[in-house]
Amino acid sequence: MEGLEMIVAFIYVTYLLIVLFALLVYLLIGIFLNKYSKLVFNKKLLIAFIPFVNYYLLGKLMINKLVGILLCIGKVLSSIGMIVYINTLENNIDLNTFVNVTNYIDSICNIAIFGLLIYLMVKYFELKKERKYSEKTITNNQNDNLNSMNNKMNNQNNDIEIL
């Protein structure tokens, strides 16, 4: 019996790790989408944390609205496929073709989401770096303007003292 208990414990730990990883990915998507929208549009989008809608937002922000819609539809279809698969197991119904198609759709969507997430992170860090550089440039220009104004005022004061 010990061997069977070890196998069951291993399966539970594996499922727990998968769920924790999925939760981590979900949170990272929401955080990066929120930060990116804050950086680009100066507003936080709380829909970045809503399941399925966050995929729409990812596609829309990175490419266009159509890609966002396709990602959202693909993820919904893959979830329906999973539900159908579970029901076919319980009721001995043969819908393997539908389940296989939704598995392919899910795989394509996951690859696209992974690519878009990498693109999102790269674009986010580039924009953040660019924004930081532009803020430093603006600050330096303001300091230069203040210094030149101070020099002009000092020159004017010296001219007044001479008179």
> What integer is the mean pLDDT of 58-65?
88
Q: Is residue 21 part of a domain?
A: yes
Q: Is residue 48 part of a domain?
A: yes
Question: Contact 37/45 with Cβ under 8 angstroms?
Answer: yes
Q: Is residue 154 part of a domain?
A: no
Evaluate if residue 125 carries a pLDDT over 60: yes
Q: Is residue 116 part of a domain?
A: yes
Question: Which segments within 10-148 are labelled E, that is strand?
Answer: none
Q: Is residue 155 part of a domain?
A: no
Q: What angle do CA 78, 83, 88 make, to 5 degrees?
A: 120
Evaluate if residue 58 carries a pLDDT over 80: yes
Q: Is residue 143 part of a domain?
A: no
Q: Is residue 137 part of a domain?
A: no
> In terms of pTM, does the model score above 0.85?
no
Q: How many domains does the chain have?
A: 1
Q: Is residue 150 part of a domain?
A: no
Q: Both ends of the chain: CA-CA distance in Å? A: 106
CA Rg value for the chain: 28
Domain span at residue 9? 2-132
In the chain, what percentage of residues exceed pLDDT 70?
77
Q: What are phi and psi of 42, to 5 degrees?
A: 60, 30
